[in-house]
């Protein structure tokens, strides 16, 4: 084994690997950016270890993977809630977004990174405008991220006409190629805001560069009706006929699906990002996730942007995912804690094509992990770790966050970002939004 840089010890290791490995009184050794070993705490010596992190009997687990975010929307958190979708978009979100700048997106994304790190997320996928700023923010925060500029038929406040959108996207891919934290993706908005030509070209760019293709699909019944009336088929079938469905495709939301859609997603090995809090708050509907899982579709969890949530907290998302499907199916056995926890970790990594790097604790993988402090009234007693993490734990229970072998948060203090400065910048942006 290489020399150990960080030894995280004295906790229960929940590996989230294929074998559901749990090591009581365990430890994880980190060398450089990778996991060098996992085992009983007694099997590691802290001699010559640069940093020993005491889990104090808590849980050592993989960092959470947020498969769908619009990070910079933190700038609009709580600006407009409890409204009809069209009023929300047209009276609040679109006018605010029309006045976006790269600087606002950068600071908004930094704030989201601060929140994500504090709530145990180590990797996120993002879709927005000025996405290079999101990549720079994630890099500065020390977070793993998949970033992509949103592409649609109408002119963008960032790049203008769609041709420029594609050149922006290829430049983003080239710029971040080989980066240890950032992956650039191709991100057409949705079947209803993207022409068939746009969708086909986006798929071609994604294939040529072998990067993820991320899109919103079948988010609402109204979207399905629009696509049906225009193309005579469901959104998923429409994408299928255009040749856009592939294992690289991340289909976000997937609320309004037919059984044929589900089988097609499975056949093409399309990945799905499930966003229950957003779907509930916007009254979009309930995605048929138990059926998707039964059909063998790979499903991860995502928060969506925090205007429709209103946080980017994956613990709240797990709790919601576990509960909404039980009541929807009138069956308390669906979406058990382990399945939900897998969606928030290893399955989420698989959705983003990063399961070789992150999402579970395994020797040789990147060291993306978090500690949960379980010595709290609401986490006492402890019968089942997985159940506790899904149903009882919260964002505030994350005691430390390590990404790519780097300690980025300890004892609720951010080590890569100045939280006060980040909040102050976004508070200034909010004043501008209210005055605008």
Q: Which parts of 265-324 interact with its own copies (CB under 8 A)?
A: 277, 279-286, 306, 309-313, 316, 319-320, 322-324
Nearer to its own copies, 337 or 370 (CB): 337
Strand segments, DSSP code E, in 275-393 are: 299-301, 369-372
Out of 161, 259, 375, 415, the only residue in the binding site for its own copies (CB under 8 A) is 375
Question: CB of 25 within 8 A of CB of 57?
Answer: no
Nearer to its own copies, 187 or 277 (CB): 277
Q: Smallest distance, Å, CB 387 to its own copies?
A: 4
Site membership for its own copies, residue 150 (CB under 8 A): no
Cis peptide before 310 (omega within 30 of 0): yes
Site membership for its own copies, residue 175 (CB under 8 A): no
CB count, 10 Å around CB of 418? 12
By rule CB under 8 A, what count of residues binds its own copies?
72
**Selection from 328, 334, 348 nearest residue 279 by Cα:** 328
Question: CB of 373 within 8 A of CB of 401?
Answer: no
Nearer to its own copies, 256 or 261 (CB): 256
Out of 383, 411, 413, 435, the only residue in the binding site for its own copies (CB under 8 A) is 383
- Which strand (E) or helix (H) includes residue 403? strand 398-403
Nearer to its own copies, 118 or 301 (CB): 118
- Interface of this chain with its own copies, residues 82 to 101, rule: CB under 8 A: 82-85, 88
* Strand 249-253, strand 271-274: pairing: parallel
In this chain, which stretch among 132-140, 227-235, 261-269, 393-401 interacts with its own copies, using CB under 8 A? 393-401
Report residue 158: phi and psi, to 5°. Answer: -90, -70
- Interface of this chain with its own copies, residues 8 to 37, rule: CB under 8 A: none
Long-range contacts of 173-179 (CB under 8 A, 24+ apart): 173/205, 173/209, 173/211, 175/132, 175/135, 176/135, 176/147, 179/139
Q: CA 153 to CA 379: how far, in whole Å?
A: 49
**Selection from 196, 130, 141, 137 nearest residue 169 by Cα:** 130
Q: CA 310 to CA 76: how far, in whole Å?
A: 9
Site membership for its own copies, residue 391 (CB under 8 A): yes
Nearer to its own copies, 52 or 382 (CB): 382
- Interface of this chain with its own copies, residues 56 to 75, rule: CB under 8 A: 74-75
Out of 8, 65, 111, 146, the only residue in the binding site for its own copies (CB under 8 A) is 111
Q: Smallest distance, Å, CB 34 to its own copies?
A: 29
For residue 168, give the DSSP letter: H
In this chain, which stretch among 34-42, 134-142, 236-244, 416-424 interacts with its own copies, using CB under 8 A? 416-424
Report residue 324: phi and psi, to 5°. Answer: -65, -35
User: Tokens 């240890």 map to which residue?
Assistant: 180
Nearer to its own copies, 83 or 208 (CB): 83
Work out the burial of residue 33: count CB atoms within 10 Å of its CB; fewer than 13 is exposed, 13-18 middle, 19 or more buried.
middle
Q: Smallest distance, Å, CB 330 to its own copies?
A: 5
Question: CB of 30 within 8 A of CB of 367?
Answer: yes
CB count, 10 Å around CB of 306? 26
Out of 49, 179, 387, 410, the only residue in the binding site for its own copies (CB under 8 A) is 387
Report residue 317: phi and psi, to 5°. Answer: -65, -40
Q: Smallest distance, Å, CB 406 to its own copies?
A: 19
Q: Three-state DSSP class for 333?
A: coil
Out of 178, 232, 381, 436, the only residue in the binding site for its own copies (CB under 8 A) is 381
The C-alpha angle with vertex 334 and arms to 381 and 278, in degrees rounded to 5, equals 90
Site membership for its own copies, residue 193 (CB under 8 A): no
Nearer to its own copies, 34 or 323 (CB): 323
Site membership for its own copies, residue 118 (CB under 8 A): yes
**What is the x/- site pattern for its own copies, positions 204-243, by CB under 8 A?**
----------------------------------------
Copy the structure tokens of residue 418. 């100045």
Site membership for its own copies, residue 77 (CB under 8 A): yes
In this chain, which stretch among 40-48, 157-165, 227-235, 378-386 interacts with its own copies, using CB under 8 A? 378-386
Site membership for its own copies, residue 421 (CB under 8 A): no
**What is the x/- site pattern for its own copies, positions 320-359, by CB under 8 A?**
x-xxx-xx-xxxxx-xxx----------------------
């Amino acid at each position: 084994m290489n020399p150990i840089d960080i030894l995280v010890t004295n906790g229960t290791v929940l590996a989230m690997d294929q074998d559901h490995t749990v090591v009581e009184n365990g430890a994880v050794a980190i060398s450089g950016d990778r996991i060098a070993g996992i085992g009983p705490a007694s099997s590691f010596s802290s001699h010559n270890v640069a940093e020993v992190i005491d889990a104090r009997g808590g849980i050592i687990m993989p960092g959470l993977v947020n498969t769908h975010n619009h990070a910079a929307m933190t700038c609009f958190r709580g600006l407009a809630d409890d409204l009809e979708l069209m009023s929300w978009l047209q009276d609040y979100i679109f006018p605010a977004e029309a006045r976006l700048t790269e600087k606002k997106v950068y600071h908004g994304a930094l704030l989201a990174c601060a929140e994500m790190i504090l709530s145990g997320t180590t990797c996120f996928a993002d879709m927005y405008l000025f996405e290079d700023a999101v990549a720079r923010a994630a890099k500065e925060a020390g977070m793993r991220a998949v970033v992509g500029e949103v592409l649609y038929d109408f002119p963008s406040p960032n790049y203008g006409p769609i041709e420029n959108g594609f050149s922006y996207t290829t430049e983003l891919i080239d710029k971040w190629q080989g980066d240890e934290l950032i992956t650039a993706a191709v991100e057409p908005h949705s079947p209803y805001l993207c022409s068939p030509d746009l969708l086909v070209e986006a798929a071609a760019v994604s294939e040529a560069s072998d990067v993820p293709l991320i899109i919103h699909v079948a988010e609402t019944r109204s979207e399905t009706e629009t696509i049906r009336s225009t193309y005579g088929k469901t959104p998923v079938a429409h994408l299928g006929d255009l040749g856009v469905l592939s294992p690289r495709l991340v289909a976000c939301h997937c609320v309004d699906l037919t059984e044929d859609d589900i089988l097609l997603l499975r056949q093409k090995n399309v990945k799905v990002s499930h966003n229950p809090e957003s779907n509930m708050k916007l009254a979009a509907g309930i995605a048929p996730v138990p059926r998707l899982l039964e059909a063998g579709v790979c499903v991860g969890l995502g928060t969506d942007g925090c205007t429709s949530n209103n946080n980017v907290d994956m613990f709240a998302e797990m709790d919601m995912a576990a509960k909404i499907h039980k009541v929807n199916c009138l069956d308390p056995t669906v979406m058990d804690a382990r399945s939900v926890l897998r969606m928030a970790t290893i399955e989420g990594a698989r959705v983003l094509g990063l399961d070789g790097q992150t999402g579970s604790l395994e020797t040789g993988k990147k060291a993306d992990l978090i500690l949960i402090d379980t010595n709290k009234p609401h986490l006492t007693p402890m019968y089942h770790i997985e159940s506790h993490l899904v149903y009882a734990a919260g964002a505030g229970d994350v005691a430390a966050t390590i990404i790519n072998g780097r300690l980025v948060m300890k004892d609720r203090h951010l080590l890569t970002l100045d939280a006060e400065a980040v909040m102050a910048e976004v508070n200034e942006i909010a004043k501008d939004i209210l005055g605008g």
